[in-house]
Amino acid sequence: MSRFRKEPDPRFWRLNRSIEFDWRLAPYDIDQSQAHAGALREIGVLDEDELERIRDGLDRVRERIGTHGFEFEEADEDIHMAIERLLGEEIGPLAGKLHTGRSRNDQVATDVAMVVQAHSLRAIELAGATMRRLLELAERHRDWPMPGYTHLQRAQPVYLGHHLLAYFWMLARDVLRFQFALDSASVMPLGSGALAGVNWEIDRGAVADDLGFEHVSANSIDGASNRDFVLDYLSAAAICAMHLSRLGSEIVIWSSSEFGFCELDESFSSGSSIMPQKKNPDSAELLRAKGPRVAADFLALLGTMHALPLTYGKDMQEDKEPLFDAIDTIEPCLEATEGMLAGIAFDRERLEAASGDEMLAATEIADGLVRRGVPFREAHGIVGGLVRDAVEAGKPLSELSVEEMRQRSEQLGEWVFDVLRRESWLESKRIEGGTGSEALAAQIGRAGETLAAVEARVAEERT
């Protein structure tokens, strides 16, 4: 840099240098440079021969960087300067013309926006594959009873298909969030310059079309300083990782000997270094553990951007490591979830036995009292007392006599024994979104339509 007489202190250089992580921007930076070179040709900064030489040189730089064993030089501060150096090695001083009409501020913002677009779409694609697997499992297990839980205590029976679809809808919301991140990143910052715009009348719309952006930034200050699209991606990834952690946690619990509701395929399990009998659900445990990591990535960048004056500060170099870490975490988690679900096996007998606990019918009995004119709060107390009577007597509700029940309420009678038949507990939930068979069938149909829309959007973006 001509402004300075001294070389950077090595201690500062180590702190300042970002090539160790921003090398991943290389393909995006080269694509952007190809489009920018075309725009410079349109306004006469480059002639046709110069454009061809620059584009050929960039192709050779791309090939060099992609070669196995390629190493950057110690003097390469970041990927932008490294590519400029490599281009100079390929085509000489002409490489210096390429930086006309842009700053590293809008250059890096554009590269990062391109990363967010690409990986938001990838996350949508992977979430869609996991949604498809969940829907297939739900359809196969639509009539398998199991206990639903609150506070990890048996609460009310549901169908396994209904329970699995809860995760389908979580992922459907994740898709919407990743789609928002994709749309947020579809505004091109290039042309914002360092902060005030540039002195060259570049056709930003044409460059945006070349690079696949939907819009260009309306304000140069905002364009250079905006990292909301990264935060949008990190937020979506953090929430998605949280959802996967809940699924992982349930699979860990369900696959334990105490529950025995399911078993993971051996290819997604691990053994013990000392206990030969062990088959551990490590894949599910890792899903459970990864969520806080991605949440920390989101908070790291949120903290970096907090109270940061406009427009650019070197602080914003810290946007890339959290982004890359989140990408490298959420994508394998989604891939592993789909694979894990592909080989999971549920135990119908264990699920049915657990769902047959008569205590799960307590709400049904309370509702029966309401239908006989008892206010719900009073009915709740009556049935709570009835449950206590059964527990203290050491017998199920169905073994209480009518006389014993009527000590709690004259409204209790023979009809209670009909309610205690398990099938009525499930099929009484006919309301839209409930676990009853008809409602579940409608939900499966709606899930299929939602999945088709997700897959169609991915196909559209890929073309």
Domains along the sequence of the chain with CATH? 10-100 (1.10.275.10), 105-145+160-352 (1.20.200.10), 357-428 (1.10.40.30)
Residue-level length of the chain: 463
Residue 455's nearest CA partner among 130, 103, 74 is 130
Tell me if residue 272 is catalytic.
Answer: yes
For 20, what's the count of Cα atoms within 13 Å in the CB-facing half-sphere?
A: 8
Complete DSSP assignment for 44-69: TSS-HHHHHHHHHHHHHHHHHHTSTT
What span, in angstroms and rounded, lies between the C-alpha atoms of 381 and 282?
43
Angle between the N-to-C axes of helices 79-91 and 48-65, in degrees from 0 to 180, rounded to the nearest 10:
120
Complete DSSP assignment for 290-358: HHHHHHHHHHHHHHHHTTPPSS--GGGGGGHHHHHHHHHHHHHHHHHHHHHHHT-EE-HHHHHHHHT-G
Number of H helices and E strands in the chain, helices first, is: 19, 6
Is residue 189 a contact partner of residue 113, using CB atoms and an 8 Å limit? Answer: yes
Q: Which of 151, 257, 273, 306 is catalytic?
A: 151
Which secondary structure element, helix H or strand E, spans residue 35, and what is its range?
Answer: helix 26-42
What span, in angstroms and rounded, lies between the C-alpha atoms of 194 and 118?
25
Tell me if residue 151 is catalytic.
Answer: yes
Q: Which two tokens stand for residue 222?
A: 């905002």
Region class of 433: left (phi > 0), else alpha (psi between -120 and 50), else beta: left
Note down pLDDT in tens along the chain; length 463 residues: 467 788 888 898 889 899 999 999 999 999 999 999 999 999 999 999 999 999 999 999 999 999 988 999 999 999 999 999 999 999 999 999 999 999 999 999 999 999 999 999 999 999 999 999 999 999 999 999 999 999 999 888 899 999 999 999 999 999 999 999 999 999 999 999 999 999 999 999 999 999 999 999 999 999 999 999 999 999 999 999 999 999 999 999 999 999 999 999 989 887 655 664 657 889 999 999 999 999 999 999 999 999 999 999 999 999 999 999 999 999 999 999 999 999 999 999 999 999 887 777 788 888 888 889 889 999 899 888 888 988 898 888 888 888 888 888 888 888 888 888 766 678 878 889 999 999 999 999 999 999 999 999 999 988 8
Q: Which of 256, 267, 272, 398 is catalytic?
A: 272
User: What is the bridge-based pairing of β-strands 345-346 and 145-150?
Assistant: unpaired
Task: Please tell me the pTM assigned to this model.
Answer: 0.92
Q: Which residues of 137-172 are buried (b: 16+ CB within 10 A; e: fewer)?
A: bbbebbebbbbbeeeeebebbbbbbbbbbbbbbbbb
What span, in angstroms and rounded, lies between the C-alpha atoms of 286 and 251?
11
257 CB-contact burial (10 Å; exposed 0-12 / middle 13-18 / buried 19+): exposed
